[in-house]
Amino acid sequence: MSKNEEEIERLLADDSFVAWIEGSASEKEIAKWRAWLENDPARKQILKEAQSFHGEIDFKGSRRPEVDTELYRLKEAVDNFERSAERENETAIFRIHHKTSYSNVAAVILLLVTVLSIATFINPPEVYQSDSLENAPRELITATTQNGQQKALALSDGSKIILNANSSLTYPSQYTGGDLEVSLEGEAYFNIVNNPGSGKRSFSVNVPGGAVEVVGTKFNVNTYDQTTEVVLVEGRVDVKMRDRLSRVKDSYVMAPGEMSRMSLPDGTINTTRVESDMYVAWTQDKLVFDRTPLAEVAKRIKDIYGVDFQLNDYELRETLVSGSLPNNNINVFLNTLENMLERPVTNKNGVIILGEQKSETNHE
């Protein structure tokens, strides 16, 4: 962790500083922090970053936040990431970039676990000449991520994928052209380009109890529970529910800005309109909420970082969270949460407890 990050963490653990940046400080506190700021010009940047980490979050759910600007910035950041992932090896199906949070691996972060359907490898397999690809072995490779880790993957045709934490993607070690099929457990964001060849290529992501079939599109898939969520950013995808014999039970062709939930227990697909950029914010280390129940926020944290959340106060379950939050530092997250909820927050052996009367604060 850099010195600036350590300083930001220390400041956000100071109730007086938090009151100052929230505009609720006393005159004495205001004078103190103004003097602190004026004594060192470099502190202006530290203040700016601290305000960003603190986030403009409304945990009371009394109003809808101005999230449009944040969503626009997220969209621009995702587009910039996609443009920067250029090809390195034409023979490779995927190349991988690792992206791990600099904070404790038990960091509390909300991330969406999505189905990722493209081939990736760290150690390239044997390279076959084009005239022998049809006879190349069709071995499968599985790319995995751990708590707090992400992987960025690039297909040689320009397609790009980001695999979220606690996820796995299985794909063929060699790609001979034509249709491509992958399997996802967890969460991933896909940007699949149209087949550069003359024919149409089918790209399919297998998920529990169904599949997502793509031609060229940007979408996110989450398979953490028995319900798979597919959010379409642009393009077109066809979601299908299948029975144990792989027969199609239900299907739906999605439009941009829609989220389809594929329920494994009842074999149905339900679709609603959503702000799609909110569901891909995790690719840019941001969590964006819009009147989201705290219980759902806690579940997202568990899915991505493998930590449990214990809500001792029943009223907290109905608390609504709105706004954006950086997702790469557990201590900043917990301190912000404690200040905004006005409830004690403790981290005991990997279990985050809200509402418990604590004798000492332990955010390590």
What's the pLDDT tens digit per position in 184-242? 999 999 998 876 554 567 889 999 989 999 877 899 999 988 789 999 999 989 999 98
Q: Which residue, 245, 279, 313, sits at the end of a domain?
A: 279
Whichever domain contains 340, its CATH number is 3.55.50.30
Domain count across the chain: 2
Identify whether 273 is part of a domain.
Answer: yes
* Residues whose CB falls within 8 Å of the CB of residue 221, separated by 6 or more in sequence, listed in order: 114, 115, 116, 184, 187, 188, 190, 205, 207, 212, 228, 229, 230, 231
Average of per-residue pLDDT across 139-144: 86
Identify whether 55 is part of a domain.
Answer: yes
Say yes or no: 101 and 167 in one domain: yes
CA proximity to 166, closest of 113, 118, 104: 113
Reply yes or no on whether the pLDDT at 278 is more than 60.
yes
Q: What is the pLDDT of residue 74?
A: 53
Q: CA distances (Å), 231 to each of 54, 222, 240, 263, 328, in order?
A: 28, 9, 14, 15, 23
Say yes or no: 147 and 173 in one domain: yes
Identify whether 15 is part of a domain.
Answer: yes
Average of per-residue pLDDT across 139-150: 86
Q: What is the pLDDT of residue 233?
A: 94
Reply yes or no on whether the pLDDT at 43 is more than 50.
yes
% of the chain beyond a pLDDT of 90: 18
Q: What is the pLDDT of residue 195?
A: 64
Say yes or no: 22 and 168 in one domain: no
Say yes or no: 191 and 337 in one domain: no
Q: Which residue, 249, 279, 309, sits at the end of a domain?
A: 279
Q: How many CA atoms lie within 13 A of 142 on its CB side?
A: 9
Say yes or no: 118 and 254 in one domain: yes
Q: What is the pLDDT of residue 131?
A: 27
| β-strand pairing of 227-242 with 210-222 | antiparallel
* Residues whose CB falls within 8 Å of the CB of residue 60, separated by 6 or more in sequence, listed in order: 319, 320
Identify whether 267 is part of a domain.
Answer: yes
Say yes or no: 42 and 119 in one domain: no
Distance between CA atoms of 290 and 322, rounded to whole angstroms?
Answer: 4
Round the CA-based radius of gyration of the chain to a whole number and report it: 22
pLDDT: is 363 or 345 the higher one? 345
Say yes or no: 151 and 298 in one domain: no
Q: What is the pLDDT of residue 262?
A: 92
Torsion sign over Cα 334, 21, 56, 146: negative
Distance between CA atoms of 221 and 230, rounded to whole angstroms?
Answer: 5
Q: What is the pLDDT of residue 163?
A: 92
Say yes or no: 75 and 53 in one domain: no
Reply yes or no on whether the pLDDT at 358 is more than 60.
no
Whichever domain contains 155, its CATH number is 2.60.120.1440
Say yes or no: 230 and 110 in one domain: yes
pTM of the model: 0.61
Reply yes or no on whether the pLDDT at 355 is more than 80.
no
Q: What is the pLDDT of residue 176?
A: 64
Say yes or no: 185 and 321 in one domain: no
Identify whether 88 is part of a domain.
Answer: yes
Identify whether 59 is part of a domain.
Answer: yes
Q: Which residue, 279, 298, 329, sits at the end of a domain?
A: 279
> Domain span at residue 49?
3-63+290-354
Identify whether 359 is part of a domain.
Answer: no
